[in-house]
Structure 1
Amino acid sequence: MTNLKRILVALLALTMIFVLAACDNNSGTSSADPSSTDPVSDTSEDVSSEDPAPTDITVNVFIYDFADPYIASVRDAMKANFESASITADFFDAAGDQALQTEQIQTSISQDVDLLVVNIVTTASDDAAMTVVDAAKAADIPLIFFNREVSDAVVNSYEKCAFVGTDADEAGYLQGELIYDIISADFDKYDLDGNGKIRYIMFKGELGNAEADGRTQYSVEEANRLFTENSLGTLEYYEPAATDLFRPCNWKAADAQNDMQAALGTNPMDSPNAIELVIANNDDMALGAIEALSAAGYNTEGGDKSIPVVGVDATVPAQESIAKGRMTGTIKQDAEGMASGIVSLCSNIASGADLMANTENMNVDSGVAKIRIPYAKYTG
């Protein structure tokens, strides 16, 4: 019996050791090596069946050109909104190169990013956008285009695709209203040669771009409609024989400054055919034109000679120029509103909701997932 008792005691002791060891192992949150940089993944059935954490996604944002002043303001606002939403976001600069942007997107997809936000470079055709959609769709990754508009067909080709931007034509109509507001207040003052017409120069952002097309066409059409309705004169392009009633400057201040200098060479401000109005598709080109005017003695801070200069975006430099009396007005494109709309859709994905959930109070197009951010006139 003595030997049997000893054996039983030994077995009981071993059992207690195993029980205590098991309890100790279950008391921790992870059994991973604390020195490892790899994330610990719990693949148990209970955990995997739970919804993902609201902020547990990574978003990659692809910008057509970091150098664009308005897009820079959208980017800054997006960063702040992403931080508030506790969403991780990385930004990529295509520097105006569609091939580079497409490569950046394909690399991100291969790295299992959760959401793509794309400010597409090429807008003249659907080809580039469809390439992006096809890649996102094949990987089942939600996709948001913004600012630079893609067609309805592109958005509708993928149920997890949306667009956040503006009504391309609205800025043109509002710019036309703004031109009328400014000039109709004292038509004779702005009609420098007294011929009953306002001679203008137009700086267009980009050929084949919906925003540039709408702003170029409807700013002049709407201003002339209002002038005619109120028995005033009309706008007349400064080059009567021109077939294209605009100077393409690719949204850039330097290009507009150079073209304005050339225009002032053929139409000096002290001549009977002087330019009487500057219309630009964006503020950067308007500011470039102002620099050329300033060199000719016009639109200087505190000066007594100026002509109306109007743009689009209401960037900080434009607002400062308006405050100094150099620029006359602009159409505000709401950078914060656009950023908020984009991050709202990203938050839907982060919380496991549909991409277009919670958009009842937004301005959404009928039949396509496009959210429109309104414009507004700005004169200081």
Structure 2
Amino acid sequence: MKRLIRIFALFMILILIVMQTNNTKNSIFASENRKVANIAIGMYDFENPQMKSIQQKFIDIQNKNQDKVNFSFYNGKNNLSIQVAIVDSLLLNPTIDFMVIGLSNPPSDVIEDIIRKASLRNMPLIMLDVDPKIASKLSKEYSKVVFLKGKQGEVGIVQGEILVDQWNNNKVMDKNKDNILQYIMLKGATDNPVANDRVKYSVSTINEAGIKTQELALRVVNWSKEIAKGTIESLLLQYAGSIEAIIANDDTIALGAIEALQKYGYNKGNKAKYIDVVGAGGSQEARDLIDKGFMTGTVNINYEAQAEAVYKIAMNLINNVSPIKDTNYTISEGFVVVTGSYSPYTKKNNISS
């Protein structure tokens, strides 16, 4: 009898082992074969100061979790063809477990092709800054893709609030005394969700504060400092003294605008020759210009929280659990929405507020 009991007990243990194996066999973290996850991060331009900031946060996460994750970084050099070639090479690399991809204004067929190839290899991935219509459709076609976005509208809201405060407390801003804020919008990219939200909400926040606005020009500058500089040089000649504010989608673009203004004697300390410029990102270079009085403001962005969100979602997908398990993120219309932390930086407050 005791021998039968031992055999039965052994049989039950074997069943439990098989059940556990079935539950973990698709995870690279199966207990009997635990390894470090190799996560490739391909971004549109790691020379961009904001992308450099995010990259450093990923490195910080890796240093704290060396037994769990290894990040590798691939610079798309703001060229879609280069970015697609990088993605194709990563999909063929057997050492890569996961991809995080941020492309320069990709068309829908490029995104569809990447997801098709990833599904053939059964590779999970996160895609950034994808058009909502495309994300809603493709999220249903491959269960291991996550489209990630922050609440970029909040960045635009803070930009708008900075200009509202400036308008209400600095009447010199209304140069032609028509009680209308004449502005130029420098947009990062065409049909880019981040750029679209920042454009929309920066202006709507100003209008909702009871301030009338007039858009003198909207120019797409491809997140490029040099293109922004050349654009503002041209617009200064066209609109002369009519420009009262420049709203830039990020600090890189804003810095290009400042260089153009200073070339023509603006924003160098003379209050009579000053045009308000607002950026986003909280870069050190932008902060320095703000402290000197050469730029109006920027929006501090919590890059640590953004990198942490990518890490948590990636590890969840690798382990075959819900991408938002043990997080406070939400899923809406095909996107995982990550709450951000955004605050103004101006000479007035000179601190994160």
Using structure 1 for the length normalisation, give the TM-score.
0.75
The correspondence of residues 87-236 of structure 1 with structure 2, limited to 5 A, is 87-112=69-94, 113-123=96-106, 125-147=107-129, 151-186=135-170, 188-227=171-210, 233-236=211-214
When residues 328 and 148 of structure 1 are mapped into structure 2, their CA distance, relative to the original with a 3 A threshold, is farther
For residue 357 of structure 1, report the CA deviation from its aligned partner.
Answer: 4.8
The CA distance in 2 between the partners of 1:52 and 1:349, in whole Å, is 19
Q: 3-state SS of the aligned residue for 2:31?
A: coil
**1:326 alignment partner, one of 272, 294, 297:** 294
Q: How does 1:299-318 map to 2 (within 5 A)?
A: 299-300=267-268, 302-305=269-272, 306-318=274-286
How far has the Cα of 1:224 moved from its partner?
Answer: 1.6
- CA pair 121-192 structure 1, distance change in 2 beyond 3 A: closer
The whole-number CA distance in structure 1 between the counterparts of 2:236 and 2:295 is 18
Q: Give the number of equivalent residue pairs.
A: 314
SS of 1:189's equivalent in the other structure is helix
Distance across 1 between alignment mates of 2:199 and 2:101? 25
* Residues in 1 aligned to 2:63 and 2:307: alpha-carbon distance in whole angstroms: 12
- 2:233 is aligned to 261
The CA deviation at 1:95 is 1.6
Rate the CA distance shift 1:323–1:157 in 2: closer, same or farther, 3 A: farther
The answer to whether the Cα contact below 8 Å between 1:60 and 1:89 also exists between their aligned partners in 2 is yes
Unaligned runs of 5+ in 2: 1-20
| The structure with more helix, counted as a fraction of residues | 2
1:71-122 C-alpha deviation (Å, 9 max, x unpaired): 1211121122123221122111222233332232222222222111111233
Distance 1:147 1:137, change over 3 A: same
Partner Cα separation in structure 2 for residue 108 and residue 68 of structure 1? 22
- The CA distance in 1 between the partners of 2:83 and 2:259, in whole Å, is 32
What are the superposed Cα offsets for residues 105-161 of structure 1, whole Å, 9 maximum, x if unpaired?
2222222221111112333x3222221111111111111123556622233322111
Distance 1:341 1:55, change over 3 A: farther
**Structure 1 counterpart of 2:125, which letter?**
L
**Which residue among 63, 81, 104 is the counterpart of 1:83?**
63
Partner Cα separation in structure 1 for residue 296 and residue 46 of structure 2 = 26
Match of 1:60 among 27, 40, 53: 40
Residues 151 and 337, structure 2, Cα contact 8 Å, conserved in 1: no
Distance 1:165 1:369, change over 3 A: closer
Residue 53 of structure 1, CA deviation: 5.7
The secondary structure found in structure 2 opposite 1:313 is: coil
1:72 counterpart residue number: 52
- What's the CA shift for 1:286? 1.1
Counterpart CA distance in 2 for 1:334 and 1:314 is 9
**Partner SS state of residue 219, structure 1:** helix
Cα distance between partner residues in 1 of 2:129 and 2:289 = 24
Identity of aligned residues (%): 24
After superposition, the CA RMSD in angstroms is 2.4
Distance 1:59 1:304, change over 3 A: same
**Could you say if the C-alpha distance between residues 189 and 54 of structure 1 is closer, same or farther in structure 2, counting changes exceeding 3 Å?**
farther
State the shift of 1:353 in Å. Answer: 4.7
Q: TM-score, normalised by structure 2?
A: 0.81
Q: Is the 8 A contact 1:206 1:248 kept in 2?
A: yes
Choose 1 or 2 for highest CA Rg: 1
Please tell me the residue identity of whatever aligns with 1:81.
I
- Deviation string, structure 1 residues 280-337 (Cα, Å, up to 9, x no partner): 111111111111222232212x443422211122222212222222111122332211
CA distance 1:333–1:80, shift in 2 (3 Å): same
1:268-283 counterparts in 2 under 5 A?
268-269=240-241, 274-283=242-251
Taking the aligned partners of 1:299 and 1:356, their CA distance within structure 2 comes to 46
| Stretch deviating more after TM superposition (163-172 or 327-336) | 163-172
More moved, 155-164 vs 255-264: 155-164
SS at match of 1:96: coil
Q: Structure 1: which 5+ residue stretches go unaligned?
A: 1-44, 228-232, 239-244
